[in-house]
Structure 1
């Protein structure tokens, strides 16, 4: 990275999408490193930030368990831990690109960040409480709350027991080698790699084991794919990240000098790993394989690039599509849904070449 690029990076800042509650996206075009700095990690909130009491912090596990337990902050942080490098992507990422338009925060590409998360495996905590045989789901209650549909509610989400016991699901207390910041979930945050960010509940207070399906509003109303504009049939829950990509350079509508330019970006997926990325500079008529730069690792984005010589006095539509090891690829057209989740159609920009 040259001196000029470093200057760009230091000037980057979050891009506001709403202020109350605070929702800000990452300036994704300027991120060259594997880990997103804490100051540039996107912020997604449903309610105002919790007000923290001046007292010790606890995590409670209750419900369908043999041994309900309350853990003090210092107990959690002294347990066997693991560190996971994982991206988090809001399920509303790229919502601004849906046609027809949908309501909600109009995220572009930046509801996406990648971090190092250190915590205790959820499966370890559940082993201490001994989950009952009939248990089906684990409910996670955050300390953030507010009014939704006329009711005062906390943000709550559940995971099926099988997913909750995945070795990579952790209760994190550190983000990028420091205690979680108050804006990203202090004191505890669930991290569910491979699932959209709504599953990674912030300000985690209570873990509740249940023998039935959870039906809170952020489970059965929000974070559901509704394929029809005015009816709820054929709906299904938002879970795993869809295979996706972005172009970081050049920027959309940029004017370039004729000659060789590097086209660069990121690609990622929920399950499996990225296996290939293809680029078209002629609006999808022909495609070429891009180079993948870092080893493709589960739950992490991969950087890709390709060089192309642009001819003068020409407009070019550049497209990118990613493929993963589960057989998924980006569709030519996004799966439209009423709340605007999971947008992952083939990414594109237009550039103009000077005379």
Structure 2
């Protein structure tokens, strides 16, 4: 998730069968927003349309006074201001970021948390310093096993006051594929406050909970990190007692720009008879997307869409398009992605208490009217 929301439903509460959106969810939704699906037309999501999820308050941050500490199991601890960080060679990476809870609201029973449908995603170009560059400057001790990242956002989880913290295994932190960034720009401009100004982590291919915002400390440890957001939150659980497996890489997903125009009373899209262009985006954190399929009959049959060729942006979504001849009547449009490692979107979604990685195929009800 971009920003972060603690896993309040793991091992917390599940919505009752007839329960609506809770006050807890309303409070979360009021400060967060998703991507309007028509914005899938943009290769790069404008910052104001990129999805946002913030767990605690957005902290006050003065870039001129900001410092990043790099310490723990290193030979030379560092304290870096923004001027020093920007003196290192910079790189820019185009990265699609998706919330781990995207699709959670479509599960039954529904976990009580940010009620995303499919809109918690966005793609931006992030500019900053490779994490491995900073760790090389500090010198990694031989016994280091993880890098722990601390944000300036601060709050209470289960009665315990804490900062937001996540960790990455050392091979990922020091490796080059994907190359983890300590970023200070989004789409060529300083990070907006809601996206972590002045400094954040970018972990290509991983769900957004790993992309720590308002980054102020990196500490290498010689034991695995067991903080709340690592050991308790963001784990695939079937029951409160289940220790679960950690949420990591983004599952494949394809989304379609809803065609035609909306009927707000029925929440159905309206199209006219004839040729209708279908298009959208597809991505996966596991491996490159190889195939996108489209269905116009609610998943009974599928045809292959045209997938844009690779453009050198391995960690960003790819455009797809298809043509459909609409006939009068009701239709349900769907789209699904397959990646090079054999992962694909399911037609029925396995359930977990946090509602994580729900990449069930998108369904768009469409009415084609016979009139002009």
RMSD: 1.8
* Correspondent of 2:324 among 277, 285, 308: 308
Query: Is the 8 Å Cα contact of residues 245 and 266 (structure 1) preserved in structure 2?
Result: yes
Structure 1 position 284, deviation (Å) = 2.0
Q: Say whether 1:183 aligns with 2:199.
A: no
State which drifts further: 154-163 or 325-334. Answer: 325-334
Where does residue 11 of structure 1 map in the other structure? none
Where does residue 257 of structure 1 map in the other structure? 272
* Correspondent of 1:278 among 275, 285, 293: 293
Distance (whole Å) between structure 2 residues aligned to residue 37 and residue 294 of structure 1:
23
Distance (whole Å) between structure 2 residues aligned to residue 29 and residue 163 of structure 1:
34
1:115–1:18 CA distance, 2 compared to 1 (3 A): farther
Where does residue 108 of structure 2 map in the other structure? 99
Where does residue 348 of structure 1 map in the other structure? 363
Distance (whole Å) between structure 1 residues aligned to residue 309 and residue 95 of structure 2:
14
Note the alpha carbon deviations across 1:44-84, whole angstroms, 9 max, x for none. Answer: 11101112358521110110111111111100011011100
* Correspondent of 1:334 among 349, 352, 361: 349
Distance (whole Å) between structure 2 residues aligned to residue 139 and residue 60 of structure 1:
11
* Correspondent of 2:126 among 110, 117, 126: 117
Please give the TM-score of this superposition, normalised by the length of structure 1: 0.91
State how 1:93-172 maps to structure 2 within 5 Å: 93-167=102-176, 168-172=179-183
Structure 1 position 271, deviation (Å) = 2.5
Distance (whole Å) between structure 1 residues aligned to residue 117 and residue 155 of structure 2:
26
Where does residue 82 of structure 2 map in the other structure? 73
State which drifts further: 281-290 or 23-32. Answer: 23-32
State which drifts further: 38-47 or 21-30. Answer: 21-30
Query: Is the 8 Å Cα contact of residues 200 and 213 (structure 2) preserved in structure 1?
Result: yes
State which drifts further: 327-336 or 239-248. Answer: 327-336
Q: Say whether 1:240 aligns with 2:243.
A: no
Which blocks of at least 5 consecutive residues in structure 1 are unaligned?
Answer: 1-15
Distance (whole Å) between structure 2 residues aligned to residue 134 and residue 265 of structure 1:
46
Where does residue 44 of structure 1 map in the other structure? 53
Distance (whole Å) between structure 1 residues aligned to residue 62 and residue 285 of structure 2:
36
Q: Say whether 1:209 aligns with 2:220.
A: yes
Query: Is the 8 Å Cα contact of residues 17 and 23 (structure 1) preserved in structure 2?
Result: no
Identify which of structures 1 and 2 has the higher relative contact order when contacts are C-alpha pairs closer than 8 Å and 6+ apart: 2
1:160–1:280 CA distance, 2 compared to 1 (3 A): same
Where does residue 10 of structure 2 map in the other structure? none
| 3-state SS of 2:230 partner | helix
Query: Is the 8 Å Cα contact of residues 18 and 24 (structure 1) preserved in structure 2?
Result: no
Please give the TM-score of this superposition, normalised by the length of structure 2: 0.87
Structure 1 position 166, deviation (Å) = 2.7
Query: Is the 8 Å Cα contact of residues 145 and 222 (structure 2) preserved in structure 1?
Result: yes
Which blocks of at least 5 consecutive residues in structure 2 are unaligned?
Answer: 1-24
State which drifts further: 258-267 or 138-147. Answer: 258-267
Note the alpha carbon deviations across 1:211-246, whole angstroms, 9 max, x for none. Answer: 1110111111111111x244315x100000000111
Where does residue 223 of structure 1 map in the other structure? 234
Where does residue 194 of structure 1 map in the other structure? 205
Structure 1 position 94, deviation (Å) = 1.5
Structure 1 position 177, deviation (Å) = 0.7
Where does residue 62 of structure 1 map in the other structure? 71
| 3-state SS of 2:94 partner | strand
